[in-house]
Amino acid sequence: MADPLDHVSAWLLAGGEGRRMGGRDKGLVMHQGRPLAEWVARHMSAQAHSVNIIANRHQTEYESILDRATTAGPALPGRVLPDDADLPPQSGPMAGVLTALRHADTPWLWLNPCDTPALPDKLLEALAQVARQQQLDAVVAATSENPSEWRQHWLCCLISKRVCPHTEAAFVKGERKIGQWMQSLRWQAVCFPEAQAFMNINTPETTHGRD
């Protein structure tokens, strides 16, 4: 029997409003010569079966990013989709996650936000290894600045498509906080030693070498 984790679809979340970027489309902000989203898409393309992008603005630009990223890696190009039209505007990343769950054609989805350009090369492999070992709905990346305090990166996760109905119900009830929703699932964290690999470039001050 084929392992469902051998063909994971990747979903890059770039649908935010960019409030801390002064309203700019964060995924298109330049970082060391490339748009932030392209760095993430290239990391995902090297590890996943296919790559898709959730973006509510500038779909043509994101299609170009997807083409460049998947040309550079083994993944198949996917789709650029906005949040589904029935989801209220300004619903935050929950709307992007729910849209990805609805449209995915694989049993598992690998999610990452567009502002994490330095993701580990073996991130998906590490998440999938834990998912194979236990009956989980989701596996989340975590890092620590010190041994007693771990930080979960809720949007850097591997999640089963089977949670789509549960997520629909939570969304209808008003849930918008990713961490609270994730903790309502069967989930586990995978700890990574390299905290810088999950750095968020989410303000103009944190971009480096932007054009």
Residue ranges and CATH numbers for the domains of the chain are 4-205 (3.90.550.10)
Residue 208: CB partners within 8 Å, gap ≥ 6?
31, 32, 201
Tens-level pLDDT at each residue, the chain (211 residues) = 578 888 899 999 997 665 555 578 999 999 999 999 999 999 999 999 999 999 999 999 999 999 999 998 888 889 999 999 999 999 999 999 999 999 999 999 999 999 999 999 999 999 999 999 999 999 999 998 776 788 999 999 999 999 999 999 999 999 999 999 999 999 999 999 888 899 888 755 445 443 4
Residue 139: CB partners within 8 Å, gap ≥ 6?
127, 128, 130, 131, 157, 158, 159, 187, 188, 189, 190
pTM: 0.91
